[in-house]
Structures are given as structure tokens and as C-alpha cells.
Structure 1
Amino acid sequence: MSREILEQAYAAERDFLSLLSDLVTRESPTHDEAACDALASRLEELMQERGFAVTRHARSGAGDVLEGRLPGGDGPRTLLLCHYDTVWPLGTLAEMPWRRDGDQVFGPGALDMKAGIANALTAVDLARRLGLPLAGDVTLLVTSDEETGSHRSRELIEALAQQHERVLVLEPSRDDGALKVGRKGVGDFELRLEGRSAHAGNNPADGASALRELAHLLLYVEDLADEVAGTTVNVTTARAGFATNVIAEEAVATVDVRVLKASEAERVTRAIHEYVPRDRRVTLTVSGGLNRPPMEPNVKNQALYEEAVAVLASMGLALEGAVVGGGSDGNFTSALGVATLDGLGAAGSGPHARHEHIRVRETLERVALLTGLLTRA
């Protein structure tokens, strides 16, 4: 039957691409609530057509979140995690149109992660077409703010995860096709320094330069990185001052932190907060912190990955597992102790880049894998 699932996945190429085109050509930037809600309405229809009982969770300041449930057998209950928001502003489709070039399909959000949604819906189609019952209950959650940190959906994600034995995240694979068995935790900090302005020529000593203090602080912060531990700390933006002849009274910087272990997040966070300005007339205010905990290797996650490997082997396929630097909603569910496997969406390259695309045949193999996991007793 595994081989038949794979052959049926390949045969579903036209329907899969038609579905994906429908999603990609409906632009849905995270910050455009109206555009997101319009796509949510279309997704609600598509889910209901496949038998999902859909609950639409209204969100203020973001698109609505869709929760669809399908009943299954007595096997493990599965939460499928997707998001329909993209990083691309309205109008990008005119510059990056939906198009196919050989085995590659291009378009804004095609890889990250509208193809993941198409994977989920097509896997349900395949299971029904082949007469394969779902091993356990399946919940499909499609959120609207993943690209900006999932602030309006995290609570629902975590609540639903705890109602399921496993979570399959339909984010794209690593560029080489590997599944994602680990992810770094992600943190964002804002560092705000306030000093005292003065005339830069007449009485500079009366000033307390927030900009000079920021220079010291940035070197201190980036030195917190630890290559061996896999911890990166990078200053990503900075601004200071308001005139060329005035000692800067204010300076602001943002810092991106990525960690493989929660203990590293604690170390870096503590060190940032403990910084003491060299010029005591300057004050530092730190805001932000770790947004997504790391998806650390554990026994449950490894067992779920090995199950996927077994399904792939039965189809004559193989995929590696990889740890990656970017975060996803799977970080939240894994941190709760729920078995989580990521990277089950499209195979492709260029997320958040203008060459963003999926590789069609490999992506259809992901559809087959997902079908096998959902119907495997």
C-alpha cells in the first residue's frame, strides 16, 4: 500500500498545483488583516469540502485562525501546524508571478508555507481516495501571524498541542530536503540608551553620549555568542542622535539571539540585563527576550522522526534529519513535551527570497509521507 500511496501522490500533481496556485495567487501579508481574512475564508471552504469541522478564531490585528478537525481511529491524535501569512507585501505577485519552470514552481509564499497547507489538504484527499482510514483524530491548525512571532496564536497552538500525542509541522524542509528534527530558539531584544545632549563643539563634556555607550554595548553583546554551543548573537539594527552637531542623547539597537539550548538563552538574557554602562550618566533599558524556545532533541521527537523514516523506507525513499537556525511554531509544541517533527511541507529553496520556489516531485513525496503517517496505525 505504501508504494500505491506514493504513486497516487505523483498522480495528484495537477490537482495539487491547482490548489497551490489558488492559495499563492491570494496574497496574504501578515500585517494586512483584510487580505488574510479573505484567504482564511477560501481556506475555510477548502477544509469544509474535505470534511473538516472548522472553527474560525477571530483575531484583532491579524487574520483569523482556522482550526479544522477530522475524526479518526484509536491511534495517536495528530496536530498539523500550518500558517497562511507571508512576508511579502500586497502587489508582490505582479513582480513575482506564479509560474512553473520544469520541476520548479515559483511565487510569493509558495514555499513558506502555502505548499505546506496544500500538502495537508492533498494528503487527506489521498487517504480518502485510497480508502485508508485515519489512524487517529486529526486537527489542522492554520494560523495567520507566524512570520511575526505568533503572538496572537501561540496560546491556541499550545492548548491544542496538549490535546494531541504528536505534532507535524508543515514548514518547508531544509534546502537539501532534510526533515527538521531540531530548531534554534529565537529571541529579539531592544536596547535603549538614554544620555544627555550637549553642543558638540562648545561643551561636549556636558553631554552623556548614548551613541558612544552603544558602541561599547554592541561589542559586549556580540561577544556573548558561543560557536561551540551553537549560540549566535547579532546586532541587526541601530540608530542614534538627531543632529550632526549634538551629542547623542538617545540610541537604540535590536539584537537577534539564536540558541540550541534553553540554558544558553538564560545565560545570554542574564548577561544582557546585567550590563552596566561605562558612563553612569547613561541609562539602559532592555526589552524583549526569547520568543520561541529551542526545539531540542528528545526521545519523543526522535521516535516520531524514526516513524517517518520507516514510512519513507516502505516507499523506497529516505530523508535525513537536520537541526536548523530558524524557528517555527513547532518550537512551542516541542517545549511542551509533545512529540514534534518539522519540515514536512514543501521541498524547495529561497524562503523569504525572490527566487522562492518548490520542487514539485519531491514535494509530492512529502504528501505521500504525510498520508502514510496519518493513516499508519
Structure 2
Amino acid sequence: MNDTSPAQLPAYYCLPRPELTQLVAARGLRILEVGCAAGAMGAALLEKGAAEVVGLDIFEPALALARTRLSAAHRVDLNGLPELPYPDGHFDLMTFADVLEHLVNPAAVLRHLSRWLSRDGKLLLSLPNIRHESVVLPLLVEGQWEYADSGILDRTHLRFFTRKGMLRMLDEAGFEGVGKIAGSQTATPVYVQKAAELVKALGGDAAKFIEECNVVQFITFAARKGAEARDGDRAPQVAAPASAPVAPAPGADPWAGSRAQRVLLAPDVGSPEDRWAAVLPRLAEQLSGKAAVTLGLALPLEHVQKPPQPVQALPSTLDLDLLLTEQPSSLAGWETLLRGAGVLVLTGARPEIADLATRMGVVIHDAAADPKLCPAPVAPSAEAARFPA
């Protein structure tokens, strides 16, 4: 018997996925959230006016919490092509947020579930991109292919997708992409240009390689082949979200889809003096339930793809959104990320970022000077700021 309680769930079961929910004109829709985990994304869609959100998942501890958030949630094994207790054509939208890569035959599951999708209904899916430079270049140069607990090479992934592979899978299931395909992106390393030259020399499309190799996840709507797009739907636009602050699309908001109050925690993970791991749970608890808060956490790419233990240990009962984003490598990137933040929390010495935040009018909170956040405070370097009440 699994005695895991909702409060013990890792935080990644409870991510609200604002990069997806912001794309959905949810009002009045009946939505099937396939792979709902603890129901955080579905709850956000209900807040946006969805008429019904039903969740499907196989992990009972997460479903226990999802049932308190969604219209209904059912335990199913998707690989077994389960029957659903709903009439044919019941749902207007089906979401698959990092789900299909875990299935034995994702195209077969899509074909099966299409029975419960309305004639002009849509799919919204996100899939990790196996062509990302963090996968293909280590494989090419070092012969390295290392599975991890999460990220693109999550050890539970059974299928791997490129952009072409994703579209082929949709075609096999009787669907086609609608609108542009979005990319949840990371910064492009300088050595990618050399790899692109090799791609060109071998007869490939160097520009397409550069365009796709920094995409962590592909995000797209899909509809039945030949179906017209529903009026009012928003197809995802190619724009750099918070995970790509170095080169955002003109006018893009890296905090798009986040709650009104935005708090950014900027740890120096490589510094032994940085106390972010101790501060994070205290900060999250302090912010929880006090306002409509999104807590952004700027981390190195490897920690975004594979959240470290302090992130996974956050209890699922916290009432806040958690946004993991790649830590910028330049001040220009930090400026993009800070532009939407109301408060910057520093857990170590980051004078260049603090100076930039001050010039931009962002409130700085020195965690080391706050005894409620830091168990062994040091002399304050700045006056502690108040968090949203």
C-alpha cells in the first residue's frame, strides 16, 4: 500500500504550467487533462472560467489531491486504452503536458481518446525535444547519453521526439498541428554555430538546426485533419518565455501567465556560502496563501531540467505558483527576467544583480538579514523588504 500523502508529493507534480494555460481561452470549455498529476494546471484552467476539467492519471497519491481541485479525476492506465465514463464528443479540449513520451504507443492513445473529443475540439500538448543541444552534442562529441530523474532524458520516457517526429505522430493519430509551434527555450551556446556548420556540410539545414537545438519543449495545438480552427482559440506563438531570458521575442513578457505578485529568488548555486536551499522552503511557506503569488526560481539549466532536492521537497499544499527558469548568463538576460518581478530575493552576494534591480526599481530582500528565512543570519547588507500581504 502506498501511504504517500498529498503534502509529501514532489513539487513537480504540482506545477501549474502557466506557459500552457496562458494559451487557452478556457471560458465555457469542457477540458480533459490527460496526465493531470495533482491537478494544478487544471485548477488554473477552472479559475480562467472552464466549465469542467476532468483529470486522468495513474499515480494515486497525486490523484488524491487532484480530486479536490478538479471537477473529477480518474485513475487509468493510458497504455490499456481505457473506457471513460463520458459520452462521445464530450470534451472541447484535451491537454497532454509532458505525457505522450511516457506511453508505449502515443499515437494509439490519441486515436483512442479522440472518441471523446468534440468534432471541432483541440489537443494542446507539450513534448520534450530530443534534438536539444544538451542531448545531441554530448552524444556526438563524447558518446554520452545519461538518463536522469527528470528532464529531456527522464528515465521514465519511452518515446523521444523531434519536431518532425511530433508532427508524424500526430499525423498517425489523425491530427495535424494548428498555428505555429512554440518552443520553451534555453539560451544558445556559442559552440552551437560550429555544430551547425557540420550539419550544413553533411547536407542538412543549418538554420533549422540552430532554431530547434535550443528548444527544450515543443508546444502546439492540434486538431483533426482538415478541421477548421475554433474561433477564439489562441495558437501558441514562437516567443521566448522565462526559460530563455537572454533572447526574448520583442515585447515578450517572460512572466506571462503568472500570478499578479511575482517574487524572484536568485541563488548562487555554485557558491558554498549561498544558503538558498535553506531559504527556499521558508520563503515558499511565508508567501503561501498571502497573495496571488508566483515564486520564480532562477537556476542553472541542469537544475531546471532536473529539479534539485530542495525544489522537489516543497509540499504540494503550498498556495503559490512555482516557476523554474534558466539562470541568465548576462546582465541583459537578468534585466529581462527582473522586468516583471516585484521583489528580488538574494541568498548570497550578487552585487551586480542587486545594482541592476535597484536601478530598475525592483525591491530587494536580503534573505541573510531575515531571521524568518535564514536560520543563521549574518549582518544585513540591505534593509529587508516586506512581502505581499
Q: In which range does the TM-score fall when normalised by the shorter chain?
A: under 0.3
**RCO comparison, higher one (Cα < 8 Å, 6+):** 1
Q: Which has the higher helix share?
A: 1
TM-score in terms of structure 2 length: 0.25
